[in-house]
């Protein structure tokens, strides 16, 4: 009995041929992976742009906080350190925490606000965590050389009579004259959360989700 040639005797169904085509080097899955990579890059840019613009739009209007011992500052560059990156391994975007954590370890205070609790849904180790920022209202400003003023080189404001848009300065940075303070100051207001991470992440993932769905319909139709 003559041997049959399997290439001509086995009939491949339409579904099987489509499956083989999907997994080919230039098949549909490969096309979708290429499209997904582009979507992730685009989504990271949108998340970054949103986080930066949200942070800038919610600034209090106070002058920049001058650096002092125990009080780091980015000197106005905080927003430029907010970066989201494409996460090709997980088809996602992720916040690049290294630079901002080093330059501004208080970045979560700016995100959440004082006296507030936030839930981080996915941490670096894949879990979740609740972060609570302690209240600052009523906290005593212990450094007797700190004064509220409208800017460096200005005069200090008496306790309780500032404009609300002032910053704390060392006495050596101000024109003290004969000014003296009879009591230590207490902080009266909480820091309001700017939610720049939350809003940037929402826009980034919204862009990614919408784009991937559109690509899936286009490629796997």
Tell me the pLDDT tens digit for each residue of 37-87.
999 999 999 999 999 999 999 998 888 877 877 788 898 999 999 999 999
Instruction: State the pLDDT at residue 9.
Output: 41
* Sequence-separated (6 or more) residues with CB below 8 Å from residue 207: 39, 42, 43, 46, 47
Instruction: State the pLDDT at residue 161.
Output: 55
On the question of pLDDT at 149 being above 90, the answer is no
On the question of pLDDT at 7 being above 50, the answer is no
Locate all alpha helices (DSSP H) within the chain, ordered by sequence: 6-9, 14-23, 28-57, 97-103, 107-112, 196-219
Percent with pLDDT over 70 in the chain: 81
Instruction: State the pLDDT at residue 186.
Output: 79
* Sequence-separated (6 or more) residues with CB below 8 Å from residue 14: none
**Do residues 95 and 197 lie in contact, with contact meaning Cβ atoms separated by under 8 Å?**
yes
* Sequence-separated (6 or more) residues with CB below 8 Å from residue 21: 27, 28
Tell me the pLDDT tens digit for each residue of 130-147.
999 999 998 887 666 888
Instruction: State the pLDDT at residue 196.
Output: 98
Tell me the pLDDT tens digit for each residue of 177-186.
777 665 667 7
Q: For 83-207, where are the E strands, in sequence order?
A: 84-87, 92-95, 116-120, 129-133, 146-149, 167-170
**Do residues 169 and 66 lie in contact, with contact meaning Cβ atoms separated by under 8 Å?**
yes
Tell me the pLDDT tens digit for each residue of 84-122.
999 999 999 999 999 999 999 999 999 999 999 999 887
Regarding pTM above 0.85, the answer is no
Q: Highest mean pLDDT: which of 119-123, 124-128, 168-172, 191-195? A: 191-195
Percent with pLDDT over 90 in the chain: 48
* Sequence-separated (6 or more) residues with CB below 8 Å from residue 157: 147, 148, 149, 150, 163, 166
On the question of pLDDT at 1 being above 50, the answer is no
Instruction: State the pLDDT at residue 8.
Output: 39
* Sequence-separated (6 or more) residues with CB below 8 Å from residue 212: 35, 36, 39, 91
Domain locations in the chain?
A: 29-113+192-221
Helix orientation angle between 28-57 and 196-219, rounded to the nearest 10 degrees: 160
Q: Highest mean pLDDT: which of 30-34, 108-112, 149-153, 188-192? A: 108-112
């Amino acid at each position: 009995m003559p041997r049959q040639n399997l290439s001509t005797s086995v009939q491949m169904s339409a579904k099987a041929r489509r499956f083989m085509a999907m997994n080919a080097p230039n098949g549909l899955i490969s096309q979708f992976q290429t499209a997904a990579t582009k979507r992730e890059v685009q989504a990271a840019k949108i998340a970054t742009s949103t986080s930066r613009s949200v942070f800038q739009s919610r600034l209090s209007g106070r002058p920049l906080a001058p650096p002092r011992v125990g009080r780091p500052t980015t000197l106005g560059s905080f927003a430029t350190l907010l970066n989201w990156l494409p996460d090709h391994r997980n088809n996602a975007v992720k916040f690049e925490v290294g630079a901002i954590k080093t330059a501004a370890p208080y970045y979560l205070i700016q995100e959440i606000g004082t006296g507030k609790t936030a839930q981080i849904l996915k941490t670096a180790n894949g879990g979740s965590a609740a972060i609570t920022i302690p209240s600052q209202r009523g906290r005593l400003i212990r450094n007797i050389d700190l004064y509220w003023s409208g800017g460096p080189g200005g005069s200090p404001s008496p306790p309780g009579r500032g404009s609300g848009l002032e910053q704390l300065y060392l006495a050596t940075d101000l024109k003290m004259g004969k000014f003296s303070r009879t009591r230590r100051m207490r902080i009266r207001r909480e820091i309001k959360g700017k939610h720049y991470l939350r809003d940037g992440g929402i826009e980034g993932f919204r862009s990614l989700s919408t784009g991937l769905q559109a690509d899936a319909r286009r490629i796997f139709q």
